[in-house]
Amino acid sequence: MSAFFPATRLRRLRRTGTLRDLVRETSLSVDDLVMPLFVAPEALPNERLPGLGRHTVESVVRECDELLGLGVTSVLLFGLPEEKDEEGSGAWIEDGVVQQALRALRQRFPELLLLTDVCLCEYTSHGHCGVLTEGGEVDNDASLDLIARTAVSHVEAGADVVCPSDMMDGRVGAIREQLPQTPIVAYSAKYASAFYGPFRDVADSAPAFGDRRGYQMDPGNVREALRECEQDVAEGADMVMVKPALPYLDVVRAVREHFRLPLAAYNVSGEYAMIKTAAAAGDLDERAAAAESLTAIRRAGADVVITYWAKEFASWL
């Protein structure tokens, strides 16, 4: 039973910074953050959204050196191939851009945790996350083999963890069969979201026709998110993910309550861009808004937050 005013005065524990630190329920540390990085044939720095620049293999090595210096120990690699084709072969070839980056980073930084995004959309000429049937539909089962092949090539090049983001049914099982020992972080509840806009510009991965609603989840659904997680867990996922994060905090909470696996949430490019843009316009304080957002994602139940702020956040501490 709770006591009431004046016996209870909740402000007592808010009086000083030390007291507030002592009783804070949710922590936010660089240990919980993962920095996404884009590797491409040519660098393309991004002034407005610094976390969304393109790196070459050489510059990604420098970037990881800086990240480690700041205490960021986990990165999630995305690639832009030299050339795109129908099958997305740039995703799994031995000298693909991500594979080259992995070899360079693995050798230089044994302590750096290397996660890779496993998907075909950056590599296919049509921009879909799987291969197409003759009729132009995404062919779920024919895509599985290529997705598993991509994951295997990443691990052979030095990846620690693979993260399938394609949303094909059965992809976790297909990868698990090939890689019994590798941790899999499944993008389990990945929604068909408008908040991926800035990412698609940087990764040049917008679909050439149609959209992703035939494989990514409908924004109105939460029970289905739990089914996606159940399926990925059954197929051998080690961690599940909700993406985007801020518009889906209720989904983060629901997954946290239903599963005992570690949970990641992806604070996506549009969430980052909204705050950057508002801060540039003078409407809000970027550091405070970023810290508040990341704390909210942790409070909703995420253990791990993938965020373009990882580097900047570490530099503010």
* 156-195 footprint of ligand PBG as x/- string (CB under 6 A): ---------x------------------------------
Show the tokens assigned to 273: 């861009």
- For the bound state, the minimum distance from the C-beta of residue 200 to ligand PBG, rounded and expressed in Å, comes to 6
Whether 243 is catalytic is yes
Q: Does 196 bind ligand PBG (CB under 6 A)?
A: yes
The one catalytic residue in 84, 243, 276, 311 is: 243
Helices of type H across the chain: 17-23, 57-70, 97-108, 140-157, 171-178, 197-203, 223-235, 249-258, 269-280, 286-300, 310-316
Residue whose token pair is 């709770």? 2
C-beta of 4 vs 151, nearer to ligand PBG: 151
Q: Does 269 bind ligand PBG (CB under 6 A)?
A: yes
CB burial string 272-299: b at 16+ within 10 A, e below: bbbbbeebeeeeeeeeebbeebbbbbbe
Q: Does 119 bind ligand PBG (CB under 6 A)?
A: yes
C-beta of 259 vs 266, nearer to ligand PBG: 266
Show the tokens assigned to 251: 């989904």
- For the bound state, the minimum distance from the C-beta of residue 115 to ligand PBG, rounded and expressed in Å, comes to 12
Contact between 154 and 116 (Cβ < 8 Å): yes
Q: Does 268 bind ligand PBG (CB under 6 A)?
A: yes
Distance in angstroms (rounded) separating the CA atoms of residues 170 and 172: 6
Exactly one of 199, 215, 248, 259 binds ligand PBG (CB under 6 A); that residue is 199
Residue whose token pair is 């909204």? 274
Q: Does 200 bind ligand PBG (CB under 6 A)?
A: yes
Whether 190 is catalytic is yes
C-beta of 158 vs 198, nearer to ligand PBG: 198
- For the bound state, the minimum distance from the C-beta of residue 246 to ligand PBG, rounded and expressed in Å, comes to 12
- For the bound state, the minimum distance from the C-beta of residue 207 to ligand PBG, rounded and expressed in Å, comes to 8
Distance in angstroms (rounded) separating the CA atoms of residues 173 and 167: 12
C-beta of 176 vs 243, nearer to ligand PBG: 243
The one catalytic residue in 84, 190, 276, 311 is: 190
Residue whose token pair is 């992809």? 171
Burial zone of 221 (CB within 10 Å; 0-12 exposed, 13-18 middle, 19+ buried): middle
Q: Which residues pair with 116 in a beta bridge?
A: 77, 162
Catalytic residues, which ones? Answer: 190, 243
Which residues form the interface with ligand PBG (CB under 6 A)?
Answer: 117, 119, 121, 165, 196, 199-200, 205, 212, 268-269
